[in-house]
Structure 1
């Protein structure tokens, strides 16, 4: 309904639809403000793949936010970053043992492209510049 869109000032993808107002999440379910339950088969951009309303996740986020909210890892580091990089590197095969932290999929893809370009140039393949992507696909 157009008046709903204008009333709450949110620009929706389809302004003719009446979207539910999600009040909370619990595990794989979302609940609207009227108590109706929805199975969350989407999870956004993979930010809730451990489920909604997880107390241990909220506590870990809170503890980290009370310590330091965000730092750029280009000039400084934190112990939690070092610990996580060691855990992640242990899962990687062979000598793939370095972790580059970024804040989004877009940054990850951009960094991967830069790294691939640098590797090609380092190996004497300055002419290797083409990248294959899928049309209308999500890349970060």
Structure 2
């Protein structure tokens, strides 16, 4: 007696095989997930890259802030020089020298501003700890 004459009877071996394939795929996915969770060196490296990216972003933000601060300071000095030149000619010469120094060395002044901000941040963090 063969199953060929009875189309309504499912083939049990095919059903078992399909079930085994599904279980095998799920087991493979689970093993893959667990492997990723227990791969400590790779996870540590990923964290290191994330921290480095965050530090680069903070440094870029600090650079822009320092540049903006230097520009603001330059504008204030120019304003003071303009006021000084209208009231006292000897002070105007010193003010123009200061403005010339700021214009001649914007990168070192911005770097000094960044270093100052980092020092202030570091000191306040240490005091809170």
TM-score, length basis structure 1 = 0.19
Task: Identify which of structures 1 and 2 has the higher relative contact order when contacts are C-alpha pairs closer than 8 Å and 6+ apart.
Answer: 2
If you compute each CA radius of gyration, which structure gives the higher value, 1 or 2?
2
TM-score, length basis structure 2 = 0.20
More strand by share: 1
